[in-house]
Amino acid sequence: MNCYTDFAEVYDMLMDDVPYREWAERIIRILHENGIEDGLILDLGCGTGTLTELLAEAGYDMIGVDLSPEMLDVANMKKVESGHDILYLCQDMRAFELYGTVRAVICVCDSINYILKEEELTQVFQLVNNYLDPQGLLILDFNTVHKYLDVIGDTVIAEDRGECSFIWENTWNEEEQINEYDLTVFVEEEDGRYRRFDETHLQRGYTEAQMKKAIADGGMVWISGCDAEADGSVTDETERGLILARERGK
C-alpha cells in the first residue's frame, strides 16, 4: 500500500476544511478536566503536525509519531516556522517506542482506522498503556462501519482546486470491513503543467464494541465513548466516535 508519499505535499491544502482548532480546544478541555494542564503528550499518527502544533502552542511538550517520512517532513517545516520544541519520530504505531512515559496519548483524524486487524489494534493499545504515566489518558477518535458502509463507501468524490485537483474513489469490502480508497491527484507545476500521482489507502471500520474490547484486551481501562460530532452516545448513525481510556497499570 502506497500512501502519504506525494500526497503529503498537498495534504494540508485538501484538508483545509478540517476544524483542527476546534479539535484542539476540545482535547485541551478534556485534558484539563482530567488534571493534565501541562507535561508531555504523544500525538500518535500526527501526520503533518497541525494538531501537534496547536497543542504545543497551548503549552504542552509534544512528541509526534507517524509512519510517513513525507508527512513528517511537512511537520518539521512547521516546527521550524513556529519554533516549537517538538520531537517527531518516524515509527509504525503498531511498534512505536518512546524514551519514557507521557501524560496522555491522542490519536485522532481516523488514524487508528489504518490498523486493519483487531489483534494489531489490541497491540497498539498495549503499547499506549505501556508508555502512559500511571493513570495516563488516551483520547482517540475513529470512523465507524456506518460511515464507510452508508456514507462514503462505493462513492466517487472529485474536487477542482485550480492548482490541485483530486478524484477519490471508495470501495467498501463488507466481508473484511475495509474501505479502499484510490486517490488520483493532479498538482500544478511551476511551468503550468500538471503532475499526476496515485495513492491507495485502506481503512477499517470499527464499532464502539470492537474498540471497547480491544482497549480492554490491551490492558487499558475504558472511561467513555461518545459521538464525536453530536456529543451524545454512539448510535447506529454515528460516523465518528470519540473514546477516552486510562492506563491500568504496567
Beta bridge partners, 142, equal 241
Query: Is 1 part of any domain?
Result: no
Q: Residue 109: CA atoms inside 13 Å, Cβ hemisphere, count?
A: 22
Whether residues 45 and 122 fall in one domain: yes
The string of pLDDT tens digits covering residues 57-82 is: 999 999 999 999 999 999 999 999 99
Q: Is the pLDDT of residue 231 over 80?
A: no
pLDDT, tens digit, for every residue of 27-37?
999 999 999 99
DSSP 193: -
- What domain count does the chain have? 2
Task: Return the C-alpha cell found at 249.
Answer: 497499570
d(CA 7, CA 185): 8
- Residue 163 reports pLDDT greater than 70: yes
Burial of residue 159 (number of CB atoms within 10 Å: 0-12, 13-18, 19+) = exposed
Residues 135 and 165 both lie in one domain: no
**pLDDT bracket for residue 241 (50, 70, 90):** very high
Average pLDDT rounded to a whole number, residues 15-39:
95
- Is there a contact between 97 and 72 (Cβ–Cβ < 8 Å)? no
Domain region containing 155:
147-204
Q: If you ran DSSP here, which 8-state letter would residue 159 be given? A: E
- Residue 48 sits in the same domain as residue 171: no
Per residue in 177-213, pLDDT tens?
999 999 999 988 888 888 898 999 999 999 999 999 9
**pLDDT given for residue 3 in this prediction:** 67
Residue whose entry in the numeric block shows the C-alpha cell 471508495: 170
pLDDT for 1: 46
Claim to verify: residue 92 and residue 176 sit in the same structural domain: no
Q: Of 144, 133, 88, 116, which is closest to residue 201 (Cα–Cα)?
A: 116
